[in-house]
Chains A and B, each alone.
Chain A
Amino acid sequence: MQLHGEAKRVLGIVFDSDLGNGVDAALALALLYRLQGKGEARLISSSTTWSNLSSAAFADVLARFYAGPPPTGASAHFQRPLPPIGMAGDGNVDGDTAVLKAVIEKKTADGMPVYPCGIHKLNDTAEPAALIRNSLTAQFDANCVVVLAGPATNLVQVMDLPGVPGLIKRKVKLLVMAAGAYPDGPVDFRVKAGVAAAKRLLAEWPTPIVAVGTEVGDALPFPGSTIENGFDWAPDHPIVDAYRAFQPMPYDAAAPSMAAVLYAVRPDGYFKLSPPGTIAVLDDGRTRFTPAADGRHRYLVIDPAQKEKVIRTYTDLVSG
């Protein structure tokens, strides 16, 4: 209950994704920053499940882009530094995608990076388990949602820190994971990239879990026409560059992670939920949902009546 005179508690979001491995997670992060701008949520931790410095750098570019230019002069001494970006491993995994290159390597006419970035080496990033744990310690009880848009590897490491399962139980009200296909379906690469971690996460994560399957992302894509027409106000925009680099235009990008973010922040009015049950991860990376009255898992179900509203919300917010 909110007490008289008490400020509204803004929902904290932990966002852990395979940023740059496609464009879905970038779109979701953009949506999250816009919802943060409206005061509906606050991104308390941003991390990548990918051990790749460019992926972390992309997250940093987005953080700086949406934070706006840093203050100068005396006011710079009041500005708290941007939160660090978490990155799995030691950043040595090669294979920068076209998406990452399009953003990180974009230069101005005089050869300077178009997008400011503060991540150039491993120790510019944070170890994700400590970062996520620390971000949770500063949250009110049950006032946080974790959004996973990548393999479960980072979250499993968080759970392994002493005392953290209890902390999660206290601070986090829900985990929304954009992974799998429901009630069953083909292999999702995000699950396949960490089958053991996904199994552990679903078995041991101490809060309810809502899964967002590939079927939701496919049915509610982010329209490419918005990229073509909706960003005229920005001469350079990292989301536009990432989107254009991912696939030949025009295309509509599957966006399960956007659905995950939208549900995490606005749980009412956009989607339906399955009955409770249990999600099992098969050894080949497929997921299977079994209804059970006492189950802690559900999956997101498209509400055909809200389809247009969902996509309009995506486009209005991200291009706004």
Chain B
Amino acid sequence: MTITRKALHRRSFLRGMGAAVGLPFLDAMVPAMAFGNAWAAKPPLRMAFAYVPNGIVMEQWNPGYEGCLAELPRILKTMEPHRDDILMLGNLTHNTGRALLDGAGDHGRCSGSYLTGIQVKKTTVDIRAGVSCDQIVATHLADRTRFPSLEVGMEDARQAGDCDSGYSCAYTNNLAWKTETQPLPPILNPRALFERLFGNGVILSPETRARQADYRRSILDFVNEDTRKLEASLGPTDRRKLDEYLSSIREVERQIERAEKTNAQIDPHMEKPYGVPADFAEHFRLMSDMITIAFQADLTRVVTFLMTREGTSRPYRELGISDGHHPCTHHQGKPELIEKVTRINTYHATQMAGWVARLKSIQEGDRRLLDNMMLVYGAGLSDGNRHLHEDLPTMVIGNAGGTIKTGRRVVYRKETPMCNLHLSMMERMGVHMEHFGDSTGQLSFADLA
């Protein structure tokens, strides 16, 4: 039998004027010879880190048991439907986040060291950390995707100034470090992220965008011709997948437009930049949806997501909490403040749960998108009141293509370096290193798979 079927390239784009829309994983991308060949048909593995600041109320995070996950504590209650997809890790420590003779500044240190494993230099001028594990992987995969990595945030991208007791804002406001002196600032603005993912690289100014608002079309309109051509060549399953995918992009676009319109009507002096939703959940949803699309279309395989910056004093008025997050965490045992922090922690986890549900709903080959991911959700401090750097709240969501056994809580020995997790994740992403940061070895295979 002669096989003539020609596969669609994995990195195909729908192109149009100023637009390039990547495609999700379609059956048409699997070479005919590869059907039944697991390797050739294998979707890529992705690595992401979603970071929350100021520690967690650990009594409401850690289940009081090890092994198979059952009932989850209050903060993670909304994660319960996803417990089979979660691996909770205990006792991971970032020693380099500790003072180590450098005095105050745990917030600056813990975020700076979170993915670098380095004791960052205490300075506001000549910053120095280390290459973060996500960037080591990004460099390794640089030629495989349109973007080696994406850095996403939701609050503050200042790169200068003192954000914590002599530590530069570069440490609190970035997770990804390309070199030891070059952090990669996160994109905060949904429009900017959208245009980065689907545009031609030119980000319009708010004024220009506002002028165009009345007559602008969807980015999908620009790629209409390519879309029609592609649809004609696809089978019904792929057509449905493509339609769902393009609809999700259109929905994101609508939400961005809505946020821009809403912002235009409110106080122009508010601190939120143009187009950034004032509502945390709405902002989170937009950014996480775009990360999802970026993974779906294999635009990148490496993402860092700084939900809010370390040390943030953001109030959560949507929860009726007008005190800043950071001051609340120094609760000194006062129940009313502990309650507020718990509610903030729960709110963050709830957003994550919504994202996980969406990642689970997307099919990719014969698996779900989440199954081809390692999404770490965690913080650089455990107890924010005492600034503890041990037993960091850490969960891995997704089973990394079946190489991580989820649905469990594994508690390691005390002082086990967080960098051991980074080393294990890098290995799964195809980067073998003998050590990283202060690692003492990979988390043992028996524990993870």
A interface residue numbers (CB < 8 A to B): 73-81, 84, 86, 122-127, 129-131, 133-134, 137-140, 161-162
Contacts and interface: CB of A to CB of B under 8 A. Distances in A.
B21 to A, nearest CB: 45
Contacts of B119: 137
Contacts of B77: none
Given A81-B388, A127-B415, A137 B440 contact: no
Contact of B99 (A125, A133, A138): A138
Contact of A77 (B95, B332, B440): B332
A124 B416 CA distance: 12
A81 B416 CA distance: 16
Contacts of B101: 138-140
Contact of B414 (A77, A80, A125): A125
B90 interface: yes
A134 B95 contact: yes
A179 B415 CA distance: 28
A126 to B, nearest CB: 4
A138 B96 CA distance: 10
B414 A84 contact: yes
A127 B413 contact: yes
B95 A137 contact: yes
A-B pairs with the 4 shortest C-beta distances?
Answer: A77-B333, A84-B414, A126-B414, A74-B333
5 contacts: A73-B333, A76-B333, A126-B414, A133-B438, A138-B99
Contacts of A133: 438
Given A80-B388, A138-B99, A130 B333 contact: no
B92 to A, nearest CB: 11
B415 A134 contact: yes
Given A73-B333, A78-B386, A81-B388, A130 B100 contact: no
A61 B14 CA distance: 67
A77 B331 CA distance: 8
Contacts of A74: 332-334
Contacts of B438: 130, 133-134
B385 A123 contact: no
Nearest to A132: B415
A291 B137 CA distance: 53
B141 interface: no
Contact of B413 (A73, A75, A126, A161): A126
Contacts of A76: 333
Interface in B312-350: 331-334
Nearest to B119: A137
B245 interface: no
Contacts of A79: 386
Interface of B: 90-91, 93, 95-96, 98-101, 119, 331-334, 385-386, 388, 390, 411-417, 434-435, 438, 440
Nearest to B91: A123
B386 A131 contact: no
A237 B438 CA distance: 39
A77 B386 contact: yes
Of A125, A127, A139, the most chain B CB neighbours within 10 A belong to A127
A130 B388 contact: no
A129 B388 CA distance: 20
A77 B101 CA distance: 23
A107 B250 CA distance: 69
A123 B388 contact: no
Nearest to A138: B100
Contacts of A123: 90-91, 411-414
Given A76-B333, A127-B440, A137-B119, 18 more contacts: A74-B332, A74-B333, A74-B334, A77-B385, A123-B413, A126-B413, A127-B415, A129-B440, A130-B417, A131-B415, A134-B95, A134-B415, A134-B438, A137-B96, A137-B100, A138-B98, A138-B99, A139-B101
A125 B95 contact: no
A244 B137 CA distance: 59
Contacts of B331: 77
A59 to B, nearest CB: 13
A130 B412 contact: no
Contacts of B386: 77-80
B333 A124 contact: no
Contacts of B96: 137
B413 A122 contact: yes
A130 B414 CA distance: 9
A131 B331 CA distance: 29
A134 B117 CA distance: 13
A225 B359 CA distance: 71
B332 A78 contact: yes
Given A77-B333, A138-B101, A130 B411 contact: no
A84 B388 contact: no
Given A81-B388, A162-B435, A131 B100 contact: no
A85 to B, nearest CB: 8
Contact of B416 (A78, A80, A130): A130
Contacts of A127: 413-416, 440
Contacts of A161: 440
A126 B440 contact: no
Nearest to A75: B333
Contacts of B417: 130
A75 B415 CA distance: 25
A214 B440 CA distance: 35
B93 to A, nearest CB: 8
Nearest to A130: B415
Nearest to A129: B440
Contacts of A140: 101
B266 to A, nearest CB: 39
Contacts of A129: 440
B300 to A, nearest CB: 30
Contacts of A130: 95, 415-417, 438, 440
Most chain B beta carbons < 10 A, residue from A125, A129, A162: A162
Nearest to A91: B413
Contact of A131 (B333, B334, B388, B414): B414
A129 B414 CA distance: 11
A131 B96 CA distance: 13
Contact of A124 (B95, B100, B332, B414): B414
Contacts of A134: 93, 95, 98, 415, 438
A122 B447 CA distance: 14
A76 B434 CA distance: 41
Contacts of B388: 80-81
Contacts of A78: 332, 386
A4 B16 CA distance: 70
A126 B440 CA distance: 12
A162 B333 CA distance: 40
A123 B334 CA distance: 30
A280 B386 CA distance: 47
Contacts of A126: 413-415
